[in-house]
Amino acid sequence: MLAMSTLERQLEEQLIAPSVTNPRQRIIDHGEVFTPPELVNHMLDLVAQECERVDSRFLEPACGDGNFLAEVLRRKLLTVDKRHARNRENWERDAILSVCSLYGIDLMADNITACRDRLLNVVCDSHVARFNAPLPERAACAATYILSQNIVQGDALHMRTAEDSPIIFPEWSPLGRARLKRRDYAYDELAGQNDFALSSQVNDFGQRVFPPPKPIADYPPCHYLKVAEQAEERR
């Protein structure tokens, strides 16, 4: 067996070492171990180009309090800074799109709350750093609502929420300069755990193809600042 480099040994030790701030019982009960920031950055560097794309989607199936998702969001917002350093409205729009692209699942309710708050704070702090002003209230409300839908308490292995319902994720697609199109999908279909294999077909080139997942809810396009109001009106 080849000897590991010093860096490889350090990364392995960090990965398996439990966080000293984690209550021991949670580690025993849930295997809860947080990834150190240095390791998070090493791993995200492997997909650095994707982290810099505003519309590139990320799912963390054991998100904890958001170590990975917060760093991905910071990297996306650096792209937003470069594109819209002097245009606050365009900055706000692309910051919201960055939030739309992040998804997380965790077993623990307090982790979900902490993760949502952490991601919102990343956006708010970035806005203050760029424009020396708080994030406008309507933008903060839109980001808060999107995070409430994208960061879900549940079991990623069984694809069920804490209430034992199917995990549902919204897809947020930009339309034009300021509108979003929302479609909701069952996580098990997105993950290919449904009956896709039974419904696969062979195309004209002899290749096996699978039908795209079907949305379980389809919303009309609306302004990105009105996503929460749209959901409330639909109830």
The one-digit pLDDT tens for each residue of the chain (235 residues) are 344 444 444 434 443 344 445 555 554 444 555 677 888 889 999 999 999 999 999 999 999 999 999 999 999 999 999 999 999 999 999 999 999 999 999 999 999 999 999 999 999 999 999 999 999 999 999 999 999 999 999 999 999 999 999 999 999 999 998 999 999 999 998 887 555 455 556 666 666 666 778 899 999 999 999 999 999 988 7
pLDDT score at 87: 96
pTM for the predicted model, two decimal places: 0.81
Residue 190, pLDDT score: 85
Residue type, 31: G
Give me the torsion for CA of 118, 125, 70, 73, rounded to 10°: 140
Q: What is the DSSP letter of 166?
A: B
What is the pLDDT, as a whole number, of residue 32? 55
pLDDT score, position 33: 55
Instruction: Identify the helix (H) or strand (E) that includes residue 137.
Output: helix 137-150
Residue 203 has a pLDDT of 61
